[in-house]
Amino acid sequence: MGFARKVWHLLVAVKDGLSLVFLLLFFALLYAVLTARPSPAQIRDGALLLELDGIVVEEKSLIDPIEALLSGSDLIGEYQVRDMVQAIEAAARDDRIKAIVIDMTKFMGGGQVHLQAIGEALDRARAADKPVLTYAVAYSDDAMMLAAHASEVWVDPLGGAVITGPGGSRLYYSELLDKLKIKARVYKVGTYKSAVEPYFRNSMSPEARENYEALYGSLWEEWQANVKKARPQLKMDLVTKTPAEWIAASNGDLAQAALAAGLVDKLGSRTEFGQHVAEIVGEDPIDNTPGAYAHTEFKPWLADNAPSKQGKTIGVVTIAGEIVDGDAGPGTAGGDRISAVLDDALKDDLAALVVRVDSPGGSVLASEEIRRAILRHKSKGIPIAVSMANLAASGGYWVSTPGDRIFAEPETITGSIGIFAVIPTFEDAAAEVGVNADGVRTTPLSGQPDLVAGFTPEVDSILQSAIEDGYRRFLTRVAKSRKMTNAQVDNIGQGRVWDGGTARQIGLVDQYGGIEDAIVWAAKQAELETGNWHVKYLGEEINPYESLIQSLVSGGSQARSAGGQDLFGMVAMRQQALAGQAAMDLHRLLGSRGMQVYCLECPVSPRTQAEAREPRGWFASFAKMLLD
């Protein structure tokens, strides 16, 4: 009996201990939930602090909490461009905000159109006598495009700034596939549709080179014009044409070189920068850490400045990221999901619809599904405007064809009217290891497509015919939309990618303008008076626990913002992005995909580049340890 009593007391003690642990965890999570939500109490007089520890995007990805906690990867900060612009414009009007501070120590980039929109908002804030100050350890092209619009640009004395311009190399796998005895069967239409070239060439084709040079040349001219206008003292030729001599003149001191070239205004540590900001906006009344200053953070500020919802509704549907079959997204344009969002909005009695596109395209079937859903709104007689952001190419243009008017910026990348498919077969690889295929066929298509025995000539012919038919359908949709003939569209199609300025000249775009211009046009076409309408972003999903999940995965906001990337860190990130590109190319070859209207010729998106990095948070590491 004595032994049984001791075992019982032990079990009770274990039960009580576990109950206490779970109770403590419950209150800890409750506290985290309450503090993660923005509240009006977090709004303070001082600076608006925009701590860009991630990328600027058109549409934020939806966080799956279980996947995020168990993936072993830190979450990449995502900042919607419209939220950034809204927050800055609200700060320009509010007397509580004395300055706008942008910390780009961990900024990972954004599309050129998005950065220009934010830069223009910063210009309006400065015109309202709100100084804009930026700080970073190192500035790259994207960070510099934002910093150019600041009143003061600070850099760490151990950092610097380097401008590289658009362009670079991509990987080609033809010789590798030959060595592995893998046949990449390519079916395409479009002389300039170079998306599949890496699978059957070992270098860039002359046509692709011609297209890239024209596209990147235009983007580079626009970037320089934007930055020079915002920062006329910058010695652009010195920085971009003779970079080695420029750095050598400062004895390899990148920070001093950046100062001498007018890229930055002042050198200083984060503490010195904070002390300078405190002189402008006041010291932090709570935090007495050196360099602390009074400020309001981005999320509570945004929550406190929600847009009006009065009057008629103008719907905005966002098509962002690769267009894929299924329910993927937000952040990826799942055809089923976006089609369902549009169909749900049919009962909302929208006065107009704006289609916001920031996509390199993808699946033909998903693109067509989205197009048909947009046409169901058009059949109701409401105006349809299309607003192109950084990318509206290939499938991104396919879904734009229902628009009554298409808006784009000079830096928008569009066109890429072409179609392709790539399927690997392994007959040579199988034979190399002693595996052979044989059998009986009753027709030329029996047992086809056969990835091990290879395709018959009839299968190759059928697949190529299907691709050619898909291209004709693409031409027909564009021709009807742009009031051209199929021959005229084919002349500017063939997979060629255009910048927004050229696209307007050749008739693929109607006028320059951002999403606000498209919304105002749609309101005017719907005969709505100023102040008698509001914008509703269709299918927008808000996760109130996003901040909590980020804290659990990455170890808290301080861990996310600690440290920074110098020049060598940027080089390492580029290497990781190259590895990520190779992985994506492999997935594109081996993955189960149908016909594609995808622009692989387009620059890699900031989100894709950022996802190549995989630092681990403490919770993910702990969970992985338990599961291993």
Domain boundaries, the chain: 43-163+231-305+565-627, 312-537
Can you tell me the distance from the alpha carbon of 281 to that of 387, in angstroms, rounded to the nearest whole number?
A: 37
What tokens appear for 14 in the block?
């274990």
SS3 355: strand
| Strand-pair partners of 97 | 46
In sign, the C-alpha dihedral spanning 498, 503, 508, 511 is positive
Residues 6+ apart with CB under 8 A from 225: none
The two beta strands, 183-189 and 419-425, are: antiparallel
3-state class percentages of the chain: helix first, strand second, coil last, to nearest 5: 45, 20, 35
How far is the C-alpha of 540 from the C-alpha of 189, rounded, in Å?
36
Residue 33: the pLDDT is 47
- From first CA to last CA, the distance across the chain in angstroms is 41
pLDDT of residue 65: 57
Residue 627 has a CB neighbour count (10 Å cut-off) of: 8
What's domain 312-537's architecture?
A: Alpha-Beta Complex (3.90)
| Phi/psi of residue 88, nearest 5 degrees | -65, -45
Q: Report DSSP state, residue 75.
A: P
- Specify the residue for token string 């989205």: 370
Please give the distance of CA 334 from its chain centroid, rounded to a whole number: 15
List the structure tokens of 361: 């395209």
Q: Which of 574, 610, 564 is nearest to 77 (CA)?
A: 610
pLDDT computed for residue 197 by the predictor = 86
Residue 296: which residues within 8 A CB-CB, separation 6 or more?
Answer: 42, 43, 44, 46, 47, 48, 49, 96, 97
Whole-angstrom Cα Rg for the chain: 27
Q: What is the mean pLDDT of each run of 10 residues along the chain (628 residues)?
A: 63 67 56 50 88 93 62 75 96 96 94 96 97 96 96 96 88 88 86 80 89 92 95 94 94 95 96 96 91 94 88 96 91 94 94 96 94 97 97 95 97 92 85 83 81 85 90 94 95 92 96 96 94 90 52 45 54 59 64 70 65 45 39
Measured at the CA of 279, the angle between CA 273 and CA 284, to 5 degrees, comes to 85
Other beta carbons within 10 angstroms of residue 568's beta carbon come to: 9
Dist. CA 603–CA 331, nearest whole Å: 17
- Do 53 and 107 form a contact (C-beta atoms < 8 A)? yes
- C-alpha dihedral (552, 555, 558, 559), degrees to nearest 10: -140
Q: Count CA atoms within 13 Å of residue 190 on its CB side.
A: 38
CA distance 585 to 196: 10
Hey, is 603 helix, strand or coil? coil
| pLDDT for residue 101 | 98
Residue found by looking up tokens 């001791």 in the block: 6
Q: How many residues does the chain have?
A: 628
Look at residue 600 and give its three-state secondary structure.
coil
Q: For residue 393, which of 478, 330, 326 has the smallest C-alpha distance?
A: 478
Strands 97-103 and 109-110: unpaired
Show the tokens assigned to 622: 């702990």
As a whole number of angstroms, the distance between CA 417 and CA 190 comes to 8
Query: Of 596, 621, 568, which Cα lies nearest the Cα of 495?
Result: 596
Domain boundaries 43-163+231-305+565-627, CATH class:
alpha beta
- The answer to whether the 43-163+231-305+565-627 and 312-537 domains have the same CATH topology is yes
User: Which residues neighbour 177 within 8 Å (Cβ) at sequence distance 6 or greater?
Assistant: 183, 184, 199
Whole-number Cα distances in Å, 572 to 106, 298, 569: 14, 29, 5
Joined together, the tokens standing for residue 8 give 């019982």
Residue numbers annotated as active site: 193, 394
